[in-house]
Amino acid sequence: MDKLIFTNDQLADFARWLKVICEPNRLLLLEKIIDGVQCNCELGDALEMAPNLISHHLSVLREAGLIEAERDPVDGRWVYYSINLKAMEDLRSLFGDFFDTRRIQPRRLTCGPQVTEEQRLSLLRMTK
């Protein structure tokens, strides 16, 4: 575990990643690309989505760095999309760090009823 506390900038960055992948159609696209289906029309057939909508979402994923595009060397009309391994690993790692249960701290006593902890334990005993 590398990160104990995340800065606001890191959280904003994390949120940007999450915004990209939380869209249901984009998650479906990612799943298909991970599973080996890769060009716009294959993806469109598999997911019953229009080509322009596919392009739009793929563009968002590409700009986020999660996927890469490559034209077919024989016929450049075909564009194949693949996962960016490094980005996928980074994101998985970031997520794992953020949701690492070892990070959980006990409640901070900066607020709450105006009694001391000792008094409070006494009161608790009395109520039981």
Partner DNA sequence: GATATAATTCAATCATGGTTGAAGTATATT
Partner DNA sequence: AATATACTTCAACCATGATTGAATTATATC
**Residues lying near DNA in the complex (CB under 7 A):** 19, 23-26, 39-41, 44, 50-60, 69, 71-72, 74-79, 111
- Copy the structure tokens of residue 56: 């739009």
**Least distance to its own copies from the beta carbon of 63, Å?**
16
Q: With binding defined as CB under 8 A, does residue 1 bind its own copies?
A: no
- State how far the Cα of 90 lies from the Cα of 96, in Å rounded to an integer: 10
Q: Of 11 and 59, which CB lies nearer to its own copies in the complex structure? A: 11
Q: Which of 18, 58, 17 is nearest to 37 (CA)?
A: 58
> Side-chain half-sphere of 98: how many Cα atoms within 13 Å?
16
Give Cα separations from 32 to 4, 55, 57, 83 (angstroms). 34, 14, 13, 10
Can you give the binding site for its own copies, defined by CB under 8 A?
Answer: 5-6, 8, 11-12, 14-15, 18-19, 21-24, 27-28, 31, 34-39, 41-42, 45, 72-75, 78, 80, 82-83, 85, 88-89, 91-92, 95-96, 98-101, 103-108, 110-113, 115, 120, 123-124, 127
